[in-house]
Structure 1
Amino acid sequence: MSLERTLVILKPSAVQRGLIGEITTRFERKGLHLIGMKMMQLTDEILNEHYAHLSERPFFQRVKNSMMASPVVVCCYEGVDAIQIVRSMTGATNGRVAIPGTIRGDYSVSSQENIIHTSDSPKAALEEIARFFKPEELFEYKSCAQSFLYYQEEYQLI
C-alpha cells in the first residue's frame, strides 16, 4: 500500500463525445485526489516520445493521428495505490471486451478509440506526469474528505 500519482489522458474520443465530466466524476467518487488537470493539443513531438515503445509498429502513425484529432484532457490523480485503482476502473484496452462497469466497458467499442490512457506502472507514471505537467501545474493540498476515505493507518501514510 503506497501513496501514488498517476497520469490519465482523456483521449479525443472522450473529448468529442462529451465524456470528460462522466469520467472525472468516476475517479472523484472513488476517492482519488485530483492534483492537476488541463486541456491541451498533443503534438507529433510529444507523441513520438510518449509512444516511443510503439514506433516500429505498423499502427504507430494511426495512433498518433487519433491522439491529435482534437484536444485531450490530461489529469494527475493521487491516492493510495492510485495506479492500480485507475487501471482497474479503466478496463481492457479493447472496449469490445472490457467488462461493463469499467470506463472502456461502458463507453468504448474500439481498441484504438478507447477513451482513455492511464499509466501502467510507477515508473511510467513518473515519466508521463513529467512529460505532460510542469511541477507548478500540480497542486499539493489536503482534501477535507481524506479522513473519510482511508482508515487511520492509511491516512497516516499520506
Structure 2
Amino acid sequence: MSLEKTLVILKPSAVQRGLIGEVTSRFERKGLRLAGMKMMQLTDELLNEHYAHLAGKPFFQRVKESMMACPVVVCCYEGVDAVQIVRSMTGATNGRVAIPGTIRGDYCVSSQENIIHTSDSPKTAAEEVNRFFKPEELFEYKQCTLQHLYYEDEYKLV
C-alpha cells in the first residue's frame, strides 16, 4: 500500500483565532507526514474553481467571502489512508454537533466558520493538492519514524 496525500486548509477562522499550531500539531502527533505548507490569500477565481459544486447554492457568495477574509494556511499531509484519517480527526461540518475530541468539536461552534477544510476522497484530494500546490512546493523525504507508525506490510517505501 502506498502513502496517500490529502489537502487541509486552515480557514480564516483558524488563522484569526491563532489555532494554526494547535491543529497542525494534531496531524503531526497522529503520524501524518507534512509534505507541503504555505500561507496564501485565496482569490475569487480560485474559490470559484474549488467550490464549483456549491455555485448554485444560496450561501455560495458567503462561503467565498468567509474564505477571503484573511490569508489561509494550506497543507498537504501524507500517510496510509490519509484522507480518511484527516476527515475523522476533523469531525462534522457543523461545529455545534461535532464530537468533542475532533478538531471542530474542540475549536468551533459554527457550520460556516468551522476552522478547516479537508479533502473528502482520494480523487478529490489529488485534484485539490494539484490546485493549491505547484509540484516544487511538495517535498518527498523519508519519515524517520515510519517503521514505528506502520507495520512494514502497511506501507510501500518509495
Q: Share of identical aligned residues, percent?
A: 84
- What are the ranges of 5 or more consecutive residues in structure 2 without an aligned counterpart? none
Structure 1 residue matching 2:5: 3-state secondary structure:
strand
The one-letter amino acid paired with 1:85 is I
CA drift of 1:156 comes to 3.6
- What are the ranges of 5 or more consecutive residues in structure 1 without an aligned counterpart? none
1:128 corresponds to which residue? 128
1:21-53, Cα deviation, whole Å (9 max, x unpaired): 000000000000000000000000000000000
Query: Residue 8 of structure 1 contacts residue 75 of structure 1 at CA under 8 Å; is this kept in 2?
Result: yes
Question: Aligned partners of 1:79 and 1:33: how far apart in 2?
Answer: 6
Q: TM-score normalized by structure 2?
A: 0.97
The CA RMSD over aligned residues, in Å, is 1.0
Structure 2 residue matching 1:114: 3-state secondary structure:
coil
- How many corresponding residue pairs? 158
1:48-89, Cα deviation, whole Å (9 max, x unpaired): 000000000000000000000000000000000000000000
The one-letter amino acid paired with 2:133 is F
The one-letter amino acid paired with 1:89 is M
Question: Aligned partners of 1:18 and 1:79: how far apart in 2?
Answer: 26
Structure 2 residue matching 1:128: 3-state secondary structure:
helix
Runs of 4+ in 1 over 6 A off after TM superposition: none
Question: Aligned partners of 1:127 and 1:30: how far apart in 2?
Answer: 24
What are the residue-to-residue correspondences of 1:70-149 with 2, within 5 Å?
Answer: 70-149=70-149
1:56 corresponds to 2:56: yes
1:67 corresponds to which residue? 67
Question: Aligned partners of 2:156 and 2:39: how far apart in 1?
Answer: 33
